[in-house]
Amino acid sequence: MPGPEAAASVAFAIDHASKHYGNVCALDGLSLDFPTGTTTALIGSSGSGKSTALRLLLGLEWPDRGQVRIDGEVLRPAHVLALRQRVGYVIQEGGLFPHLSALGNLALLPRHLGWDMARIRARAGALADFAHLPRAALERYPAELSGGQRQRVALIRALMPDPDALLLDEPLGALDPIVRHELQEELKSIFDELGKTVILVTHDLAEAAWFAERLVLMRRGKVVQDGRYEDLRDHPADTFAERFVKAQRRLPEAAR
């Protein structure tokens, strides 16, 4: 891993958290622990609460009841700025600012932290090599980049301050199948090399199983099943878990 010395991973926990948006219940007494250095995939159908759970961990949303703990300490509004300097966050389609070059997007947090431009360029260049992004792409604007390049820039932006953890919300959902497969391979290698706490949200069971040993299947703001892919496949906890696994479409068998 290029750049600053390795940072320690961070442990997250959600304790009996409930969250409502009007009459809609997004989380219903959810409790989950994410130990340091582990990779976990939150899976489920749209509206299951998986993205809301991720946003709670970053202090982008707050529970109506319950709490979030970071390294055992209850997360409070006063802690959020420091937390966001420790945690990289990647969303679908990257969330890049269109009026800034790729390098300008990468420089936002480092400049806030007091880095000079020479240090920013050095770190960005090293991470571009690490993520297989041509260095020339750093001078381009998001509209001038391919979808895969924009997603690489978003990942690099999350990695710029050498965070203790990565939270990723459907980071590959908008990409075409070839680019998505390529980035899945590269992200898996990056996760393995970093050794940090990683929490990934996806609706794709195959993608979840590729990235993480631990899969958490959610429905209506609750955990349906928590374990390995093999457990979910071979011993589904209920009929919903069974249907979720069966709903993953497979290619038709070749005619004989």
Q: What percent of the chain has pLDDT over 90?
A: 68
pTM for this predicted structure? 0.88
Domain ranges of the chain: 12-246
In the chain, the percentage of residues whose pLDDT exceeds 70 is: 93
Q: What is the pLDDT of residue 2?
A: 46
Q: What distance in Å separates the CA atoms of residue 24 and residue 84, rounded to the nearest whole number?
A: 28
pLDDT of the residue at 51: 94
Whether the predicted pLDDT of 214 surpasses 70: yes
Task: Tell me the mean pLDDT in the region 74-92.
Answer: 91
**Residue 137 near residue 153 (C-beta atoms within 8 A):** yes
* pLDDT tens digit sequence for 116-157: 999 999 999 999 998 889 999 999 999 999 988 998 899 899
What token pair was written down for 131? Answer: 């993520």
User: Does pLDDT of 213 surpass 50?
Assistant: yes
- What's the rounded Cα separation, in Å, for the pair 40 and 23? 29
For residue 179, what pLDDT is reported? 77
Per-residue pLDDT tens digits for 20-35: 999 999 999 999 999 9
Q: What are phi and psi of 182, to 5 degrees?
A: -60, -45
| Confidence check: pLDDT of 255 > 80 | no
Question: Which homologous superfamily is 12-246 in?
Answer: P-loop containing nucleotide triphosphate hydrolases (3.40.50.300)
